[in-house]
Amino acid sequence: MRASLRRLATRDRVYQTLVHIGKEPIQGGRTGKSIAQLFTGWPPPAEFPSRLGHPDGLTLTRIFPVVVQTRPVELTQNHASDGRSATVQTPLLKYRHPIIVLSQLFLFALTYYFSFLLRFDFNLHEPFTHSFLKTLPVVVSVKLLVFSYFRLFRGWWRYVGMSDLLDIIKAAAISAPLVYLGVYLAHGMLFFPRSVCVIDLTLTICAIGGIRFAVRAYTESARVHLADANTLIIGAGSAGSAIIRELRGNGKVKYDPVGFIDDDPTKQGMKLQGVKVLGTSEHLPRIIKENDVAHILIAIPSAAGKQIQRIIDKCRACKVDFKTLPAYGDIINGSVSVGHIRNVRVEDLLRRAPVQMDLGRIREKLQGKVVLITGAGGSIGSELARQVANVEPGELVLFDQSENDLHKIDIDLAENFPRLDYAALVGDILDRDRLSDVMAQHRPHFVFHAAAYKHVPMMEKNCFQAVTNNIFGTYHAAHLAREFEVQDFVLISSDKAVNPSNIMGVTKRVSELLILGLQHQRTHFVSVRFGNVLGSKGSVLPLFEEQIARRRPVTVTHPEARRYFMTIPEAVQLVLQAATMGKGGEIFVLDMGEPIKIVDVAHDLIRLSGLEPERDIPIVYTGLRPGEKLFEELKLDEEGIKPTAHEKIRVLEGGRVSSRQVEIWIKELEARTNAKDVNGLIRKLREIVPEYSPSQEILALAQESVYEPLTMSMSAGSPSVKWTRKQSS
């Protein structure tokens, strides 16, 4: 290999077959054919001359993913210092398209000739020889036109697939009657057997399709033998089969699949895509040793977290690199590709049974409709945007005050949903005029209200801003939704709204009550309540990852602190499902599974980084922060909970609130917020939400307010506070 590179760098002429994969040319035998240059994915002829004359030369890794040559080629090195680029001069590539067309015309003539031979048992004689020669131009011309219409003279043959084969079948099927008609119009039907058209149809499909699949098989065979590392795929199912196809069709990947591992006894010894199931996970150490395995791909998107944990424990014991595919719910379009291969993450270890989505119902509800998402740049809002885009809304309106976050989701949608009609609009939900203009212009059918402040300790120090954004912002959005007769309004709530011990939680509970009071016959208002989502901005997971990357101690608040966790895609799927069920006035609660110790999440993340807790990375307990609880709840004891048609969604009896009561609450909260009256604000919030227990942080701030706490007593573990006005000195 090094000798070949030296020859390329010194402009030597190369006579033996060179197979280029990635950046390295590898010297091979003399069995390759020059014609392979034409069919292995080179750039279109219109693109090549411009690149050939580029002053920086022609980059082999961009233009020649796989190149097979047997004739001398002159290569000149333009960047001898780093070896990044080379200039390749070959006249054959300039005429790639004409040569492909001529070769196909030759095959058309050949299949037509063999049709006559087969029809007459290889004993072709006059007058049929004359008939063949006389009708040949008509046959070739008709096929040329039809196959051109289906664009079958272009494309990269190394990527040929079933869709290409179907196009070939369509073109051949259409050509057959047109050939018959053309011959009849040009020459009549004298000495022209109709069965020739049927035989020619079959031979054309076999020849035109066969040569394409032969080229694909040849290039894939070259890549398989030259891949970097032997790879085992765990999971001999549809995902594993799809990954094999992707690996063989992608010259840039470093995985050479040598076998499958699957615990299903009925699959032992069977082959998928030509790759054999070598054994079960119990045989993993032996199989790794026998096959010199360097990588393991876990291709079980439906696997539960415990199963993933068991697999990676075995991989770690065998000291091999391992990667995985995300859960099906994390893959928007449901298909699996090489691009989905990634490192194992903590969320993979927390996987539960896949969410069973009623996609038909969601699509029926949202397809063709205008959907507005507030807070569209946030973790939940941006995932909502992606999943709503996937069900083809009439228009998607993204609304967020963060220019940077909105820009990110704007780019994401433009790349992944090029046909989507959407608008990314900067604005604040507190700017009622701006939000009103947006609703007046776009007339949304659905509003998903995800805009809110969420960080508990920070909101304890900024209580007025929390009330203003979370409560008043929700009020503005909901009131305008009713004014513009939005069909459905969905509030993204939180488990912190249950028995709140912090400002963030109580503002969410008040927001739930507000929209109960704004119910309208033309607008359905519902809330969806769930716990922590993994990987959201500012959450514990990115913090742990940063601490581990810097080899710093991982900080956990309390050894017994537990939280409900859910992945962002799973939470959004259930939000969309709940939105299709709402009739107005419901509070939907998502099944978050069992609460998980935060310290266990820290341990898993440290191990996934190849380190050991305490030995390599210590755990430091910092104590609960202001407003935090040891564990969260999803419902109040007095709230009645009922099942729904979806096993992971429950519905609460939200109670009744009058619109008049809502208006009174808003006015009183505004008065206390404008006066910067902390004690008055807390008192009003406790009046609205009696179960609210203010934190010590808030009580400390209250000392500086116009009101001061007179007494404090503990009842059932919660502080009970009474207020009196401060006496002037």
The CA distance from 618 to 601, in Å, is 14
Beta strand pairing status for 596-597 and 562-563?
antiparallel
Q: Is the dihedral of CA 415, 421, 426, 428 positive or negative?
A: negative
The CA distance from 694 to 502, in Å, is 6
Q: Find the catalytic residue in 143, 314, 496, 508.
A: 496
Distance of CA 51 to the CA centre of its chain: 34
DSSP for 315-329, written as a single string = HHHHT-EEEEPPPGG
DSSP for 593-649, written as a single string = -S-EEHHHHHHHHHHHTT--BTTTB-EEE--PPTT--SS--SS-TTS-EEE-SSTTE
Contacts 24+ apart (CB under 8 A), 413-418: 413/385, 413/386, 413/389, 416/332, 416/386, 416/389, 417/389, 417/390
Beta strand pairing status for 488-492 and 565-567?
unpaired
At 43, list the tokens: 């750039």
314 as an active site residue: the answer is: no
Distance of CA 64 to the CA centre of its chain: 29
The CA distance from 704 to 679, in Å, is 9
Distance of CA 185 to the CA centre of its chain: 55
Helix (H) / strand (E) element for 397: namely strand 395-400
Closest CA to 501 of 333, 327, 626, 588: 626
Q: Is the peptide bond before 127 cis (omega within 30 degrees of 0)?
A: yes
- The number of beta carbons lying within 10 Å of the beta carbon of residue 643 is 9
The CA distance from 536 to 340, in Å, is 20
- Residue 393 falls in which region: left (phi positive, over 0), alpha (psi -120 to 50) or beta: beta
Phi, psi of 127 (to 5 degrees): -90, 5
The CA distance from 679 to 397, in Å, is 39
The Cα-based distances of 48 to 25, 53, 59, 71, 392 in angstroms read 20, 9, 11, 19, 38
Contact partners, residue 82, CB within 8 Å, separation at least 6: none
Closest CA to 383 of 361, 355, 405: 405
- Residues designated as active site: 496
